[in-house]
Amino acid sequence: MSFPIDIREKDGLRTLHFESNRLQGAMHIGHPAELALEYTREMMACLLLRDASRFPRSVLLIGLGAGSQAKFLYRHCPQAHLTAVEISPRVAAAAREHFELPDDAARLNIVIGDGYEYMRTTALSFDLILVDGFNEHADPGDLNTLPFYRACRARLSEQGLLAANLIGLSHNYKGGYAHIEAAFDGRAVLFPRCKSGNTIAFAATGDPVSLALDELKDRALALEARTGLALLPSISGLDNLSCCSDGRLRI
């Protein structure tokens, strides 16, 4: 892929852009492992849905961008091996050069390639798959297809969770969440829309997720104490979802 990459800095925030003003990633210069963008923080709510002592052991990131989520998981989930698939070698180089992505092949494997083709051909399995891949036109391309999400489900472990950024796709536009629901036989949930316009979907395979919202809030507080990541606002918004009408989140 060939398109302009622009690195900017303002008020202590370094940002990655494709073409004009399309924001693709951000980093607080003084705190490079923090998640600067709201939607990336919300995607980490996946860490609340499984036993933190065992999850995740293996993570796949489709789309690297500035490497924000890879850095967060690298720092706070030392038990996890991370694989990031990024279609543009220039983006991967920018993440290393400008956004302090760790150079540690033992724990963080960067694969330059197409995320759809990788999912179609890999024989590996993962506890967690994070999907956040868009081209310079903010289009997910083949990542927004039912075969792609079926391939994701096939490569998840018994602890398996999917988290997907569905900006512009969350309300069945060109598939979006409907593809995830179909691929996971309805075992999916759509969190309330972020202020940025992003909407995050979660889906599960293997062991069921059944958690009281009060327990989720306790887990959020524990994660915040350990990492500084504040997810209580996201969890509080689940009270109004139909899938949580009895005070439990089930996936």
Catalogue the active-site residues.
132
Distance CA 235, CA 233 (A): 6
Residue 136 carries which DSSP code?
T
**Cα–Cα distance between 134 and 24 in angstroms, integer?**
9
- Distance between CA atoms of 251 and 180, rounded to whole angstroms? 12
**Whole-number Å distance between alpha carbons of 164 and 215:** 23
> Among 127, 181, 192, 134, which residue's Cα sits nearest to residue 159?
127
* 154 exposure class (CB count in 10 Å sphere: 0-12, 13-18, 19+): middle
- The residue type of 54 is R
What gap in Å lies between CA 139 and CA 193, rounded to an integer?
18
Helix boundaries (H) for 105-208: 115-121, 146-154, 177-183
Question: Angle 68-76/213-227 helices, nearest 10 degrees?
Answer: 90
DSSP3 helix / strand / coil % (the chain, rounded to 5): 35, 25, 40
